[in-house]
Chains A and B, each alone.
Chain A
């Protein structure tokens, strides 16, 4: 049991009913694991289904199909009551530090609430624990008696982190935790998250649209497009040898904060808009925008490629990619070109 990954998601499907009997295919057969003390970055653009995955993992919404295992135990169909003790082990940090804290509670009460609800400590022992946690996330102790509106955005996100980590969960789900913050504050929160992970050893599912953040923080990366994972690889491998044409496009479009470098880069322009998850394209979901469509057609119009191993630990869902057969480069490797600079 102890060898089981901290979090294992198999064939997760989530559909939402829509108007006129239509169905939104938000997540369609997503599988991944997060190992012990591992940080997995789940990257995708808006509408790719990454937040739906997070909400399913936490059982905040009910998955349509699939299995979710926490430390080896299947939690997919547990009742709310049966789920409750397991919530000690699975916590979340939300994107918006304004709406995710109760404005009528003091920050100390917010952070102490999980401890109280699980009946782990109270009175002085609880206070001491909250104090320690405030210290760990770099908040001054007197802020315990303040209300969220009295704090800055960065301080509030620290409160959110403290609340998520006070029970020392084995898995932390973080959904765009720094996107709402200013650059200089983001840096502090990202550093903090990395330090806390190193000290406390939790596993983390980190959801973001920002590739630079993933490269800074995560051990492994999974890229989502229209409800599916199209590529997953260890961090360095993904940035050095991106395979799926969508991953290549995404990497090439990320901006490097250096004008000299930025001028030498070319990006892959994707035609059109992401298709609607109400009516995803047949075959490969990316084929309507794929710059390599001419090469993968007609197979890609009919058959949805499965994730296959390209190199150890590097899986790609593309007809053009097989073991040791890389995809054509869309631009000269953006990463290589830049690292010479």
Chain B
């Protein structure tokens, strides 16, 4: 693999709340290669969004972030605010779940794209407008000239998300972080947005971190997958290997829990349930976080934190009893 573009090591995020410390992310490490689509999967509260927000220090001040995130030879977590501002939105940009709340309702679409271009690239008004038009074409918005002068409320959900992607791509970023980009969209619209993401990667070579709870989305676009549970990485593997040979009982549980279309009478089989619930992030146990819900748990699981081990080529799992 080429040198990683982004190398995150031992990233931990704690929030100081009225009810005490919350350990949202615990010693996460991952790397991202140029032009790669990395899927980060997990259920609500597993820390997938917090992980990505912490990379460019978008979290509120109640968050304590430790570890490192090396990007282009610099650690983003200790970078001076001035330098960081040149990275945010320019070299690393974001697309969030809800396009309506991410766009400013009182400015036109064109204005919001121009803003990024003029701020980061110092383009003239005219050049910015030309580039904005080009960007709307890139994300395949029909009648882009007209759309530039429209307001977000005049666009459908799918179109708004395309505008968000256009803004994120404005400065040709090296990394695009997409946090549940299709969750608020309909299936037929989702398919179009996922096509677009693939296309962006292929044509522009942008590396993409795709955060999602939907294993179907991961299967569709990701090259490599990280499965998170309770703030920790449970498993990491190339996408085919993960689905064909899942190792962590949590991953296996997740895969068994989704109804699959087109399996004929087989779809009528019971779905696999994962008993119990996610542990509180207040006191992360000094044990496997999944132990209480795991059919394979034993003494060892309950007394030690499992470390990541490579059990198949490039397939890492944090479990004392891995296996599919």
Contacts and interface: CB of A to CB of B under 8 A. Distances in A.
Q: Do A and B assemble together?
A: yes
A253 B187 contact: yes
A338 B262 CA distance: 7
B264 A339 contact: yes
A45 B274 contact: no
A191 B270 contact: yes
A338 B261 CA distance: 9
A200 interface: no
Contacts of B190: 253, 255
A36 B119 CA distance: 64
A152 B264 CA distance: 33
B40 interface: no
Interface stretch (A129-137, A156-164, A207-215, A293-301): A207-215
Interface stretch (B22-30, B80-88, B208-216): B208-216
Given A45-B186, A182-B43, A269-B192, A257 B258 contact: yes
A178 to B, nearest CB: 10
Interface residues of B, number: 49
A269 B195 contact: yes
Interface string B235-260: 00001100110000000011111111
Nearest to A182: B43
Given A267-B191, A269-B192, A187 B220 contact: no
Contact of B261 (A254, A272, A273): A254
A183 B43 contact: yes
Contacts of A186: 257-258
Contacts of A262: 216, 219-220
A191 B259 CA distance: 10
A336 B255 CA distance: 22
A173 interface: no
A249 B188 contact: yes
A128 interface: no
B236 to A, nearest CB: 15
Interface string A268-288: 011011100000000000000
Interface in A175-226: 182-184, 186-188, 190-191, 209, 211-213, 215-217
Contacts of B263: 339
A267 B216 CA distance: 14
A274 B216 CA distance: 24
A182 B158 contact: no
A254 B255 CA distance: 16
Contacts of A335: 261-262
A185 B33 CA distance: 34
B191 A257 contact: no
Contacts of A249: 188
A250 interface: yes
A250 B95 CA distance: 25
A256 interface: yes
A312 interface: no
Contacts of B222: 259
B216 A188 contact: no
B272 interface: yes
A255 B264 contact: no
A255 B257 contact: no
A83 interface: no
A211 B258 CA distance: 12
Given A260-B244, A269-B195, A184 B274 contact: yes
Top 8 closest pairs, chain A to chain B, by CB: A255-B216, A187-B257, A216-B259, A187-B271, A45-B186, A184-B274, A253-B191, A182-B43
21 contacts: A45-B187, A45-B188, A45-B189, A46-B186, A182-B43, A183-B257, A212-B259, A239-B262, A253-B191, A256-B216, A256-B219, A258-B260, A259-B220, A259-B240, A259-B243, A260-B240, A260-B243, A262-B216, A262-B220, A269-B192, A339-B264
Given A255-B190, A335-B262, A339-B264, 11 more contacts: A182-B43, A184-B254, A188-B271, A212-B258, A239-B262, A253-B188, A260-B240, A273-B156, A273-B159, A335-B261, A339-B263
Interface of B: 43-44, 142, 156-159, 186-192, 195, 213-220, 222, 239-240, 243-244, 253-265, 267-268, 270-274, 277
